[in-house]
Amino acid sequence: MRPSLQSTTLGYLTIFLPYCCSTAALPQLPIAHPRSYPDPNNQNYLARQESLKEGHSDVDIELLSNAKEQTPSETLSSSSTATRVPVLRLNFPDPSVLQDEDGTWYAFATAGNGKQIQAATAPSSSGPWAYVDRHVLPDPGSWTTGQHTWAPDVSRLGQGRYVMYYSGQQRPTEDTNGSPRSPHYCLGVATASSALGPYIPMEKPWFCAEDKGGIIDPSGFHDPLTGRRYVIYKIDGNSIGHGGSCGNGETPHVPTPIMIVEVDSEDGVTILGDPIQILDRDEADGPLVEAPSLAYLEASDGEGRYVLFYSSHCWFEGSYDINYATANSVDGPYRKSGYNPLMATGDLGLTAPGGATVVEGEGRLVFHANCREGRCMYDAEFWVDGTDVIIREQEG
């Protein structure tokens, strides 16, 4: 759906698909996740801007902001102030959204404010959002530490069934020599009979990949063209990196690929086939790519593409950003846009935006960025145009 143009303080994003293409008291937290990686830096940022101007994909997404820019080298700080107003002013990292059958919108976020998974509700995707003071996932599973439950994503399966994908930190184990082994993250799955749960987790983790660093950032995708259902996630290779930015800024860099796996369209859990890699980091991305979110976006002439939104660089540095890649097929190959980043520090007056999720059918993205409370939820509108790239931000 293409939103109407009107006077607004929202920043508009535009996606161009050419005709030639087929197809409670809240704590003051400064960061999104309780990670602690050494030596944060962002030396790749400026080089990245130059390298990406050399080529681009055939789907162009651009952002224009008249807000005062902040320097890319800023690290996250709880005292940073954005000119953009959050749609939910509290620490609500890694937001994902879902519309229920009755029209109510739900948002879910990483652990915080005393909850394993946080939730909020709104009458529309643009709000107003109200925090839900309840435990939607009371127990993330006996296989987890019961802490640091990250990046939930909820899918409605129909007939009063919901499935939540999330990242859970495994309980510490010992290696063959009896030495403690660092706990990596695995994907967990929980189900419920209502959007707000309570969600009941599976007894065991769903996916792990410990030898590659673990798995984080799951996101569900229901393909409107085929009716098939998928889950996209990140191999957390930077957790076993060799130091530097987000643990993977020093060579040799460890891969942090984005994977896709098909699941049963009815239960959302049964795995169909092997996972397929659809993206990975390169030098322009810094230490990692992560936070994938997949959507099928159509142009005004009916043409469309699969668009994979993702973040790159380190989440607690000012160079963290939002990017996209496109493909004709759900399993790729995906081409990173030469106009990346889509959104970066300084755009809309924000610092380190990331974790973008498409609001299906609404021409809207939700994402997190730095705020006094921690990582607040923000949004921005976009539309798909088959003949031109329209970029506009108005004050009103």
Angle at 140 (CA atoms; ends 197, 263), nearest 5 degrees: 75
pLDDT tens-digit map of 331-377: 999 999 887 888 899 988 999 999 999 998 777 899 999 999 999 99
Question: How confident is the model at residue 46, as a pLDDT?
Answer: 32
User: What are the residue ranges of helices labelled H in the chain?
Assistant: 45-51
CA atoms within 13 Å, Cβ hemisphere of 350: 31
User: What pTM did the predictor assign?
Assistant: 0.81
The CATH architecture annotation of domain 12-385 reads: 5 Propeller (2.115)
Contact 231, 263 (CB under 8 A): yes
Q: Which residues make beta-bridge pairs with 298?
A: 304
pLDDT tens-digit map of 34-51: 333 222 233 333 333 333
CB atoms within 10 A of CB 158: 10
Contact 32, 118 (CB under 8 A): no
Cite the active site residues.
Answer: 94, 290
Question: How confident is the model at residue 177, as a pLDDT?
Answer: 65
Contact 382, 376 (CB under 8 A): no
Separation CA 393–CA 396 (nearest Å): 10
Q: Which of 261, 191, 273 is nearest to 230 (CA)?
A: 261
Separation CA 307–CA 363 (nearest Å): 13
Contact 319, 44 (CB under 8 A): yes
Question: How confident is the model at residue 99, as a pLDDT?
Answer: 95
Per-residue pLDDT of the chain (396 residues; tens, 9 = 90+): 322 222 223 334 444 433 333 333 333 323 333 333 222 233 333 333 333 333 344 455 444 332 223 333 333 443 344 467 999 999 999 999 999 999 999 999 999 999 999 999 999 998 999 999 999 999 999 999 998 999 999 999 988 899 999 999 998 875 556 666 678 999 999 999 999 999 999 999 999 999 999 999 999 999 999 999 999 999 999 999 999 999 999 999 999 999 999 999 999 999 999 999 999 999 999 999 999 999 998 766 677 889 899 999 999 999 999 998 889 999 999 999 887 888 899 988 999 999 999 998 777 899 999 999 999 999 988 765 542 222 234 333
